[in-house]
Each structure stands twice: as structure tokens, then as C-alpha cells.
Amino acid sequence: MKGFQANEQTNIIEINRKKCKGCDSCKSFCPSAAIQGKYGAIHSINSEQCIFCGQCLINCPFGSIEDTVDAVESVIAKLRNQQLTVVATIAPSVRVAIGEEFGMKPGTLATEQLYGALKQAGFKIFDTNFAADHTIMEEGSELIAKIRHYLLGEPAEHELGALPQFTSCCPGWVRYVELYAPEILPHLSSAKSPMMMAGALAKTYGATDIWHVRPENMVVVGVMPCTSKKFEASRPEFSSAAHYWQQRGGTAHYPDVDVVLTTRDLARLFKKLNIDLNQVEPFTDADNPLAQYSGAGTIFGNTGGVMEAALRTAYFVITGQELPFLEYTPVRGLKGLKEAEVTLKDAKTGKVINLKVAVVHGIKENLKPVIEQVAAGRSPYHFIEVMNCPGGCVNGGGQPINPMGTSWTGNWKALLPWT
């Protein structure tokens, strides 16, 4: 994939020439060699090579790298438009990060305060955790079908992708594959990310059954820890809801997710509206089915979380029993490449298989040998989770930046539930 499709968001991450010191720190964090300029000279970013992960931004010691896509004022204007229903879909990592923007201890779980602030601002709530549970069912079912076909010898009901199966919920990782490893595209899961599932669900089921509004009068705002989500939302293929309604007589065309705010963006929006997370009335939205979710969706924001949730699903469907471990520790923790093997006994045939899985976080440091094995047809794994950012989404490019102008080093580990 070269260049961009029509209407895709470009130049999301840019270097401020007036602030850049040419120190090369950004290059050491860039997974795609997108940053140009010699040491000591002003640097720039080649957007056609960039995966928009924002790791350079949160790790620049001089604060010279900026997220240039600022939709805060636009979203405020939409919230004030009485003709529109504005829905926020909130990623799991946001609730343990946004409190830091309001003086709370890093890692504070502020779900009810966040819900309360969103309600006060005028948003309807669609928790992305709900969509993450759907992702588990989609991605897990896809993996199960491949296990039954490739490992248990059962006939396939439809064309399946290749094993090993890679996760597909990290947009930085997906763009990396498109740009730098297109030969492994057949191995990517066909499942959308939770944010994109949330957008499509909000403008179909949510519009008709929850909020009772016309989908063309809805604005879905992704609230994400990730700058690459701004690119993902702009991709023209993500307009499933409009396509669904066009098949039923509709004529309007619109994206599934209209705009993305990072955790930092949402904090600025709250402050512009004089909303303080420390002062809002906590809210649970208990009567909203789109704000209900399982622990499987919650752990998506951590490295290994998607893998663990998918393994629970695959294990139960194939064996008829729950995975013996409530917390599957082999795929947890901060090691750059984690490996595990799970024995499954098919409840129908009695056949036993050993499912080998891997978890990679931090594309720059840990991914190359994994891709090379897959491309060469000698990968030992059946299922591989990849997240671009170290530690997973909790350390995404849209998360709070500490006062020194560097990333969450020393803080973000506190966000992991097993530490």
C-alpha cells in the first residue's frame, strides 16, 4: 500500500520546526523509520511512511512533536447542536489515564467519574469495552474455525485466512503490515477493531433501539489512547452503517466513527466546558446495554489482553470447559515477546491439540523475527497478538504526557492490573 486513499487523514503527527533540536530521540522510538533529518538538524516526518502511533510525540524530551488533528472545538459545537445525538465510545485505557490530567494519581481507575463528565458534557455513552467483547466473539470465532479446519481436519464452511492468525485491533500495526509486510496480510484477522465495531453498532442498533434517532443525525466520537485511531476512523472502507441503511432504502453516506479524540483531547474538552473530573457526580449508565461489558473486553488495553480473552473463548468452545486459569499469566507482563502453549481436547472427537501462541508489543524492538518466520512459512505459532505501543494501549500516543515532556516511563506500569 503506497500513498493514501481519498479522504484519509494524513499528517496527523508533525514536528514543530521552531522547537525541534535535532536530538534524534524521536528516531529511537519510531517503528517505521518515518522521521527524516540528520543529527543536529531540524527533523520532519514522512507521512507516507508513518503509522501515526505517536510514540515519537510522547517521548520527545522537548515537546516539539505535535498531534495536529484537533477536533475539540468541532465536537463542542456538535454537542451544542440540538439536532444531533453525540455518542462517545470510550476505550478501556482511557479510564485509567484521564484522571492524571486532573491531578489524580497515574493509573487511577476513574470510570464513573468519566461517565459522569461525559454525561455532563452532553454525550451519550457507548463503552468500547462492549464492542471489545464483540471483537472477542468475532476474532475468537475466526480462530476457532481455523483450528477446526487446519488442526482438527474438519471441512471449512467458507474460505478461511491463513495460520498463524494475527490480531487486527491495533491500527498502527495494521498500517505497518500494509506498508512494510504486505506478504502477511492473509494472516491478519478479518475482525474490525473495537472502535470501528462500536461505530457501526451505534449507527444501527444504537440508533434504532437505544437512542431512537436517525443515524445520519448521529455523531460518533471515538475516545482513544491512540493517535493512530484518527487515521483508522478516516479510512473510507469503514462506513458499514451507511451501507446497511442504503440496502434498506437510505441515501445518506457517513463514516461509522466521525471523529476521534485522544485522552489528552478529551481532557481539554472537559476543561473548556469547566468540567472537573474531581467534582462531577459519578455515573454508571446502568440501564444502557451498550455500557455493559465483561472482564475480557476490559483487559484489551494491556499487552496480552486480546490474546487472553480469545484463548478463553476458543478453549471453552472447543473443549466445552472453562480455561482452568482465571488469569492466564503466560501472556501477561512486560516481556517484549511472550510465548505460551495451551492443550485443548476437542469435546466432539477427543482429539488433542497443542495451540501455540505469541504476544508482541513494541513493534520496533520485538516484531521483526516473528514476521520473518511467518513470511518464510516456518512460524511455530497458531495465534499472534501484536500491539505497536510498549505495554499495549495504556502507553498509546494519545495518553497523558508527564511534566518533563517525556512518556509514561515509570508510571504506565501501574496501569496494568497484574502489577
Average pLDDT on 62-73 reads 94
Cα(415)–Cα(267) distance, integer angstroms: 18
State yes or no: pLDDT of 405 exceeds 50. no
Average pLDDT on 299-321 reads 78
Lowest-confidence segment of 188-192, 292-296, 335-339, 393-397 by average pLDDT: 292-296
Cα(396)–Cα(388) distance, integer angstroms: 9
The yes-or-no answer on residue 341 being catalytic is no
State yes or no: pLDDT of 45 exceeds 70. yes
Last residue of a domain, one of 237, 261, 294: 294
Give 350-359 pLDDT, tens digit per residue.
999 898 989 9
Last residue of a domain, one of 238, 264, 294: 294
Catalytic residue among 100, 101, 138, 139: 139
Tell me, what's the pLDDT at 6? 77
The yes-or-no answer on residue 229 being catalytic is yes
Catalytic residue among 232, 308, 338, 364: 232
Which structural domain, as residue segments, surrounds residue 58? 13-67
Amino acid at 331: V
The yes-or-no answer on residue 232 being catalytic is yes
Catalytic residue among 73, 237, 327, 341: 237
Specify whether 221 is located in the same domain as 275.
yes
Catalytic residue among 50, 169, 170, 226: 169
State yes or no: pLDDT of 298 exceeds 80. no
State yes or no: pLDDT of 324 exceeds 90. no
Specify whether 54 is located in the same domain as 101.
no
Q: How far is CA 172 from CA 44, 53, 384, in A?
A: 19, 6, 16
Tell me, what's the pLDDT at 69? 92
Specify whether 197 is located in the same domain as 243.
yes
Give 254-297 pLDDT, tens digit per residue.
999 999 999 999 999 999 999 999 999 999 988 899 988 876 55
Specify whether 150 is located in the same domain as 28.
no
The yes-or-no answer on residue 189 being catalytic is yes
Q: How many CA atoms lie within 13 A of 344 on its CB side?
A: 30
Query: First and final CA of the chain: distance in angstroms?
Result: 39
Tell me, what's the pLDDT at 5? 81
* Residue 406 is assigned to a structural domain of this protein: no
* Residue 414 is assigned to a structural domain of this protein: no
State yes or no: pLDDT of 314 exceeds 60. yes
Catalytic residue among 189, 228, 240, 379: 189
Specify whether 60 is located in the same domain as 78.
no
Amino acid at 98: I
State yes or no: pLDDT of 394 exceeds 50. yes
Contacts of 206 (CB under 8 A, 6+ apart): 87, 126, 218, 290
Catalytic residue among 142, 193, 228, 385: 142
State yes or no: pLDDT of 235 exceeds 80. yes
> Residue 393's pLDDT band (boundaries 50, 70, 90)?
confident
Average pLDDT on 376-382 reads 93
* Residue 342 is assigned to a structural domain of this protein: yes
* Residue 419 is assigned to a structural domain of this protein: no
Specify whether 275 is located in the same domain as 324.
no
Last residue of a domain, one of 261, 278, 294: 294
> Residue 418's pLDDT band (boundaries 50, 70, 90)?
very low
Tell me, what's the pLDDT at 59? 93
Specify whether 110 is located in the same domain as 227.
yes
Lowest-confidence segment of 168-177, 338-347, 374-383, 395-404 by average pLDDT: 395-404
Q: Which residue has the cell 515532556?
A: 405
* Residue 336 is assigned to a structural domain of this protein: yes
Cα(367)–Cα(31) distance, integer angstroms: 10
Specify whether 242 is located in the same domain as 360.
no
Specify whether 39 is located in the same domain as 144.
no
Cα(116)–Cα(99) distance, integer angstroms: 13
Better-predicted residue by pLDDT, 242 or 152: 242
Average pLDDT on 60-65 reads 93
* Residue 399 is assigned to a structural domain of this protein: no
The yes-or-no answer on residue 339 being catalytic is no
Catalytic residue among 20, 30, 389, 393: 393
Tell me, what's the pLDDT at 416? 43
Give 107-164 pLDDT, tens digit per residue.
899 999 999 999 999 999 999 999 988 888 888 889 989 988 998 888 888 888 899 9
The domain that holds 94 is classified in CATH as 3.40.50.1780
Q: How many domains does the chain have?
A: 3
* Residue 30 is assigned to a structural domain of this protein: yes
Give 7-24 pLDDT, tens digit per residue.
888 889 999 999 999 999
Specify whether 17 is located in the same domain as 58.
yes
Specify whether 123 is located in the same domain as 258.
yes
> Residue 403's pLDDT band (boundaries 50, 70, 90)?
low
The domain that holds 328 is classified in CATH as 3.40.950.10
The yes-or-no answer on residue 308 being catalytic is no
Catalytic residue among 78, 192, 203, 229: 229
* Residue 221 is assigned to a structural domain of this protein: yes
The yes-or-no answer on residue 139 being catalytic is yes
> Residue 412's pLDDT band (boundaries 50, 70, 90)?
very low
Nearest to 260 by CA among 140, 396, 416, 138: 396
Can you state the angle between helices 111-121 and 263-272, rounded to 10 degrees?
50
The domain that holds 28 is classified in CATH as 3.30.70.20
Specify whether 97 is located in the same domain as 48.
no
State yes or no: pLDDT of 402 exceeds 80. no
Instruction: For the chain, give the secondary structure using H, E and C.
Output: CCCCCCCCCCCCEEECCCCCCCCCHHHHHCCCCCEECCCCCCCEECCCCCCCCCHHHHHCCCCCEEECCCCHHHHHHHHCCCCCEEEEEECCCHHHCHHHHHCCCCCCCCHHHHHHHHHHHCCEEEEHHHHHHHHHHHHHHHHHHHHHHHHCCCCCCCCCCCCCEECCCCHHHHHHHHHHCHHHHHHECCCCCHHHHHHHHHHHHHHHHHCCCCHHHEEEEEEECCCHHHHHHHCCCCCHHHHHHHCCCCCCCCCCCCEEEEHHHHHHHHHHCCCCCCCCCCCCCCCCHHHCCCHHHHHHHCCCHHHHHHHHHHHHHHHCCCCCCCCCHHHCCCCCEEEEEEEEECCCCCCEEEEEEEEEECHHHHCHHHHHHHHCCCCCCCEEEEECCCCCHHHCCCCCCCCCCCCCCCCHHHHCCCC
Give 188-229 pLDDT, tens digit per residue.
999 999 999 999 999 999 999 999 999 999 999 999 999 999
